[in-house]
Amino acid sequence: MPDWKQEVDVMIDAGKISVPYSWTVGTTLSRFYCELRDNGKIWANRCPECGNVFVPPKVKCINCYQDLNDWLELPGTGTVETFTVVRYQEPTLHPRPAPFVYGIIKMDGADTGLLHFIDEIEPEKVKVGMRVEAVLEDERDGNILDIKYFRPVK
Amino acid sequence: MEKVAIIGVGQTKYERNKPETFAELVFEATSKALEDAGISKDDVDNVVSVSSDFWDGRTISSMAISDASNAYGKDITTVEGDGTFGALYGMMRILSGSFGVTLVCAHHKGTESNIKGITNCAFDPLVERKLGIDAISSAALQARRYMNRYGVSEEQLALVSVKNHGNAMRNPLALLPMDITVADVMGSRKVADPLKLLDCSPVTDGACTLVLAAERPAKKLCTNKKRVWLRGVGHCSDAYRLGDRDLSDTRALKDAARRAYAMAGINDPRADVDLAEVYDAFSYMELMWLEGLGFCGDGEAGEQMERGIFNFDGELPVNPSGGRLSAHPVQVAGLQAMAECVLQLRGEAGDRQLNTPETALVHGINGMCGQSHCVWILGK
Amino acid sequence: MGNRVGIIGVGQTHHAAKRLDASGVELISEAVTRALDDAQLTISDIDAIVIGNMDHFENINYVDMWAIDGLGACMKPVFKVTTGGTTGSTVGACGYYHAASGLFDVVLAVGWEKNSESDTQAAIATCANPTLERDPFAGAIGPLATEYSMYMKAFGATEEDSAIVAARDRNNALNNPYAHSRQAVTVEDVLNSPMLSYPIKFLDMCPRSDGSCAVIFASEEKAKKLCPKPAWVHTSVVRHDYTHFGDLEWKFMPTLERASAAAYKLAGISDPLNEFDVAELYLPCSTCGVKWMDSLWFCEHGGAPGLIRKGTFNMDGQLPINPSGGVISTNPIGATALIRIGEAAWQIMGKAGGRQIEGVKKALCTGFGGCSWTDLMILGADLP
């Protein structure tokens, strides 16, 4: 290695990009979130061709690419398909401190699962196949966190 | 299909906190690849850069490395995804008849990025992102679904980690060569159940460059010894939201593999393939992908791992380089795996050389939880 | 040898400053649905998909994965390409190479952007080397202004020359129902608009738009079967330049000169001004519509103002440029260069509606971005 390279005091340029974002929720998801925020309801939509029901609702059917105009309300209960207990802290990302539980909940009345938190149960006791129900925030903003978490059905 | 060969490979060492810039890393890998192929920079007529604006923290990420990748004055493009997809586009451009020699390069400095924040940004800002999900927590969800469906144990996952870190001890380029046991893996720090630290791949820096050539220039520019033929390829993506699919179902991989095998004329993968480099971003993934590739039935890989089938000295060595568990430069990974297979098929793999392999499989993934797959068959 | 490839369908959204009614996925599905309708195909006819945009404008990582729903890409081959401002043409070239390779027959290429979701200049600024150039030189307008100042000084071009280009493109947009900005302007209006960065004024400069464009490429056999009049791809050429702004040549546009020279040679074009019937060019600023004409070999260096003052590039001129209204009327960056290809294809297919030029046999499309990069595609009514 040439001598000068050995002697250089290598630097770090610590940067932070500042690009603010405001995402357009769009027509389909706006309806979903307005219903959640204003009426505390979880809505899905259904494909006229294959009959698949999607929650959160979709713009087009992922199987048939059909427009989805048929909306239906879901009961808000479901079955835990899988879960994990997150044990690392990432305060800039996680809305709650670890350890906490993520689950994918197969929603009753739909063909898809919903990713969310599972709470009101010790993490060690969560099981695949458990029946759970959505618990909503009292004050809602119109986003996925309007659902506080899912808890075991009594 | 016209024949396309890999005629040169170049890799940097895979390390943490590499002091070089992206451009310097790409220059190193590219210089090595050109030297390996024995060609001059002017023999290359087009460049595919595999670059990510997110991981690099800059828009038009390929701009930073265009000089270093020998792209000045040439036709150049950029694929954003794993290196296997970049190589695919590089091959398409040759097959189109427009180009004869494509240089495909990828770079990554994981230690300059925030993996959790960056992978969190792969999730839909309107649906999943606010929950704080990232590559690791989503992988944990997939691991548990897979293990639950087929009765796979954490110890069977651990075997993958033991094997791959052990294999890395023969690879001077790997970041994490380690002589560990199942007990070491089981006792490592819990990250997101069921995943522990040693089930996860490490943050890594590095670069890799391949030189692809159509048959005529391949034969003109280099010797037979250097040439490794691209015999088949397939790619396919599954649905996006985690809840849209059964995370234990490898249907997209099966589709990609089917295309690749058909193109390569492979009817019995287990018998016809001599080694495989598959994308083990996490230990459980190696098991899932081996099943999806048809090397064994769904749910059987764990048990086969116990029998040593996929060990370095086993019937079908998997990840003899140490795999992604030993070095995981995102984007670069697929090209690194291809480079490793090229070395193996040429007989140039040093201490990690297997016994005269003739056909290799390379597998890459894109997106979270292996949403999209690209499968390659390489042959001598 | 590879296949010959034709464009058999195009779809665009109605581009706007802010499409508040449509999320990114909805925008993409609009363009894709329209392209399928235009080609009279369904999603099951599509063999592979490629998508592009600029990550930092929407802050979505792995956009090809995120866009699956809008693209109809579930259980299909898909990947992403991105090259800054040239993304749209990179996407177009990629769609072409997919079909030309023989690996896929019918390929969907989609470009999109929701510039309303972010601060465009702040995002573009991150393309500059963080330790060398980002602080002083960032943004798109600075380099373009510098470039035209040098051209004015070297060859006597004027602010009025670029104002003629601005008025031309903006008035053309009145015929294009998809264009974002559709306003009748005079040369005076342009000259009197607020100065942004000398000599570039507000009406000289492109907007930032929300929009998407989808183009369907097909290999020769399929194209002939599926489409009565495909727009055949004659050639695709890309040339990039040095990484750092300080290293570039500013008196002319080297990448455009090299790319077009190479493309013309491949396509057998010796007199571009006469042989092309229409050109859809990526002119992010009207000043480019002056200076870059030299670099397309329409004239000697410095000859552009003469051609412009004669009306050579008007709708009724020798070589109409940007009947669609061009980039200064519509600029959803990831789609912008693909829109050039889509509009040129429609010109050849006879589907350009109120902006149709008569008897288009050969069309020129360009893309621009990054550090003075050029992408170029030549389309023709006849097979190459």
From residue B254, how far is each of B363, C69, C76, C210 by CA, in Å? 12, 21, 12, 37
Question: Percentage of chain A with pLDDT > 90?
Answer: 82
Q: Do C79 and B81 touch (CB under 8 A)?
A: yes
Contacts of A100 (CB under 8 A, 6+ apart): A85, A86, A94, A117, A119, A123
Residue of C nearest to A65 (CA): C72
Q: What is the mean pLDDT of residues B45-71?
A: 86
Q: Do A20 and C119 touch (CB under 8 A)?
A: yes
CA distance B364 to B55: 18
Q: What is the mean pLDDT of residues B254-261?
A: 98
Q: Do B59 and C75 touch (CB under 8 A)?
A: no
User: C-chain residues within 8 Å CB-CB of A47?
Assistant: none
The chain-wide mean pLDDT, for chain B, equals 96
pLDDT value of residue A30: 93
Neighbours of chain C (3+ CB pairs under 8 A): A, B
Q: Are residues C167 and C31 in the same domain?
A: no
The backbone torsions φ and ψ at residue B321, rounded to the nearest 5 degrees and listed phi first, read -75, -15
CA distance C282 to C88: 10
Residue type, C241: D
| pLDDT band, residue A62 (cuts 50/70/90) | very high
> For chain C, how many structural domains are there in total?
2
Q: What is the mean pLDDT of residues C131-155?
A: 76
State the complex-level ipTM: 0.96
Q: Are residues C180 and C243 in the same domain?
A: yes
Q: Are residues C102 and C37 in the same domain?
A: yes
- Rounded to two decimals, the pTM is 0.95
Six-digit token pair at C276? Answer: 């092309």
Query: Does the pLDDT value for residue A139 go beyond 60?
Result: yes
Mutate which: C29, C62, C238, vs B, most B CBs within 10 A: C62
Q: Are residues C184 and C258 in the same domain?
A: yes
CA angle C305-C310-C314, nearest 5°? 100
Q: Are residues C98 and C185 in the same domain?
A: no
Q: Are residues C46 and C82 in the same domain?
A: yes
Residue among B59, B79, B119 whose CB faces C56 most closely: B59
User: A-chain residues within 8 Å CB-CB of B136?
Assistant: 88
Mutate which: C74, C78, C101, C378, vs B, most B CBs within 10 A: C101
Q: Do C43 and A65 touch (CB under 8 A)?
A: yes
Query: Does the pLDDT value for residue C35 go beyond 70?
Result: yes
Query: Does the pLDDT value for residue C365 go beyond 70?
Result: yes
Six-digit token pair at B348? Answer: 């140039």
In DSSP notation, C123-141 reads: HHHTTS-TTTTHHHH-SSH
Query: Does the pLDDT value for residue C222 go beyond 60?
Result: yes
pLDDT value of residue C45: 98
| pLDDT band, residue B39 (cuts 50/70/90) | very high
Q: Are residues C175 and C226 in the same domain?
A: no
The chain-wide mean pLDDT, for chain C, equals 92
Say if C135 is an interface residue toward chain A (CB within 8 Å).
no
Query: Does the pLDDT value for residue C132 go beyond 60?
Result: no
Chain B nearest-CA distance from C284, in A, is: 17
Q: Are residues C200 and C214 in the same domain?
A: no
User: A-chain residues within 8 Å CB-CB of C18?
Assistant: 24
pLDDT value of residue C117: 86
Looking up tokens 């909306």 gives: A71
User: C-chain residues within 8 Å CB-CB of B53?
Assistant: 54-56, 82
Q: Are residues C352 and C335 in the same domain?
A: yes
Range of the domain at C365: 129-206+235-380
Residue of A nearest to B127 (CA): A144
Residue type, B228: V
Chain C nearest-CA distance from A30, in A, is: 9
Counted across chains A and C, CB pairs separated by less than 8 A come out at 74
Q: Are residues C202 and C291 in the same domain?
A: yes
Counted across chains A and B, CB pairs separated by less than 8 A come out at 105
CA angle B254-B259-B260, nearest 5°? 95
pLDDT value of residue C48: 98
Six-digit token pair at B343? Answer: 């070395």
Helix, strand and coil content of chain B, in percent to the nearest 5, comes to 45, 20, 35
Q: Are residues C58 and C167 in the same domain?
A: no
Say if B142 is an interface residue toward chain A (CB within 8 Å).
yes
Q: Are residues C190 and C339 in the same domain?
A: yes
| pLDDT band, residue A12 (cuts 50/70/90) | low
Number of separate helices (H) and strands (E) present in chain C: 16, 11
Q: What is the mean pLDDT of residues C133-162?
A: 82
What's the order of all strands across the beta sheet hosting C78-80? C78-80, C48-52, C106-114, C210-219, C5-12, C231-239, C373-380, C362-369, C278-280
Q: Do B240 and C69 touch (CB under 8 A)?
A: yes
Q: How many Cβ atoms sit within 10 Å of the Cβ of residue A3?
A: 6
Q: Do A88 and B192 touch (CB under 8 A)?
A: yes
pLDDT value of residue C131: 57
In DSSP notation, A13-66 reads: --------B----HHHHHHHHHHHHHH--EEEEE-TTT--EESS--SB-TTT--
Mutate which: A86, A92, A125, vs B, most B CBs within 10 A: A86
| Coil vs helix vs strand at C326 | coil
Residues C362/C271, Cβ–Cβ less than 8 Å: no
| Coil vs helix vs strand at B243 | helix
Q: How many Cβ atoms sit within 10 Å of the Cβ of residue B361?
A: 28
CATH number for position C151: 3.40.47.10
Q: What is the mean pLDDT of residues B137-148?
A: 98
- Strand (E) positions, chain B? 4-11, 46-50, 75-79, 101-109, 190-192, 195-196, 205-214, 228-237, 275-277, 359-366, 372-379
Residue of B nearest to C99 (CA): B96
The CATH class given to the B4-114+204-225 domain equals alpha beta
CA distance A61 to C191: 50
